[in-house]
Amino acid sequence: MSLRLLADIGGTNARFALQEPGQSAFADIEVLACADHATLGDAMRAYLGKAASRGLAVDGLRHAALAIANPVEEDRVSMTNHHWSFSIEALRVEQGLETLLVVNDFAALAMSLPHLEENGRERIGGGLELPNRPIGLIGPGTGLGVSGVIPAGERWIALASEGGHVSFAPANKDEVAILEALWGEYGHVSAERLLSGMGLELIHWALTGVRKDAPSITGAALDGSSPECRRTVEAFCAILGSVAGNVALTLGATGGMYIGGGIVPRLGRLFTESQFRARFEDKGRLSPYLARIPTYLITEQYPALRGVSAMLADHVASQQ
């Protein structure tokens, strides 16, 4: 049985893997920098060429699935956080594939949530996970992903969402000052404008008047060398808690609320000791409802690949 190609494509990196149908393990996982390749097709060919040189049988590859950090609503996909733009059908033909499934990356990540092992997640705060209930997902990275999964009998249905672009709502005077500073720059200030790598930089600028890159901010906050950077990270985590609570209320996510993306896992104790959980629950009359919902940090290394694998398997089976 021929291998299948899987990918999780963000604004910065593209993660590729091969998988044999019916198997849970991935083969030959590799992360490529998007900026190193002119097109998505070039990146796919580069990965498959390297896999072939390592002795993997990719010549008979017929089915592929890509999770991408972008809305996927029609044949043409133009990435919001990168310059790649492509036709799904043209890319399928170009790559010589029978099936090319392209889905929103956070829909794929959401599809993995019901199947995460305990060692693939870390609980943040209290709450009680209810079985067969909606599960929510939020993840700050290059942008802000929002999704969830809804139970449907024996299956789960993933939601493709652009909830990261909802309007930011401040909850204290510091956040009002942040909003006022960014209104002048951007007009509409979305949750993604703050809950992303660039968001860390904008929060820091709005609070201090100083421009700093995100790695420098998190590094100085973690080593304790900058109270200003610590304040920035604390504001970031608190805002994330409020927005995650909004998503949980919207979905009725009594099956749990998960945090993914590339930023939060790097924050370590700054996140676990932050106001995230308190702000998650801080919803006035609905606070007791939020207090019952558990929150988890995703720690599995490549969960979106697992989700997109399940989506491809369902798609191929439905075509037979």
Give 210-231 pLDDT, tens digit per residue: 999 999 999 999 999 999 999 9
State residue 320's pLDDT score: 73
Domains belonging to the chain, first-starting first, are 4-109+305-319 (3.30.420.40), 117-298 (3.40.367.20)
CA 282 from centroid of its chain's CA atoms: 24
State residue 217's pLDDT score: 97
State residue 202's pLDDT score: 97
Torsion angle of alpha carbons 297, 303, 306, 308, nearest 10°? 100
CB-CB contact of 306 with 270 (8 Å): no
Kindly report the three-state secondary structure assignment for every residue of the chain.
CCCEEEEEECCCEEEEEEECCCCCCCEEEEEEEHHHCCCHHHHHHHHHHHHHHCCCCCCCCCEEEEEECCCCCCCEEECCCCCCEEEHHHHHHHHCCCEEEEEEHHHHHHHHHHHCCHHHEEEECCCCCCCCCCEEEEEECCCEEEEEEEEECCEEEEEECCHHHCECCCCCHHHHHHHHHHHHHHCCCEHHHHCCHHHHHHHHHHHHCCCCCHHHHHHHHHHCCCHHHHHHHHHHHHHHHHHHHHHHHHHCCCCCEEECCCCHHHHCHHHHCCCHHHHHHCCHHHHHHHHCCCEEEECCCCHHHHHHHHHHHHHHHHHC
Strand pairing partners for 283? none
State residue 154's pLDDT score: 80
CA neighbor of 95 nearest in space, from 149, 37, 48, 38? 48
State residue 199's pLDDT score: 96
State residue 117's pLDDT score: 81
Angle, vertex CA 148, rays to CA 145 and CA 154, nearest 5? 150
**Residue for token digits 């992360």?**
31
The pLDDT averaged over each successive group of 10 residues in the chain (320 residues) is 90 93 88 96 97 90 93 92 95 96 90 88 95 95 90 86 93 96 93 96 96 96 97 98 98 97 93 97 98 96 90 86
Burial class (CB in 10 A: 0-12, 13-18, 19+), 91: buried
pTM, two decimal places: 0.83
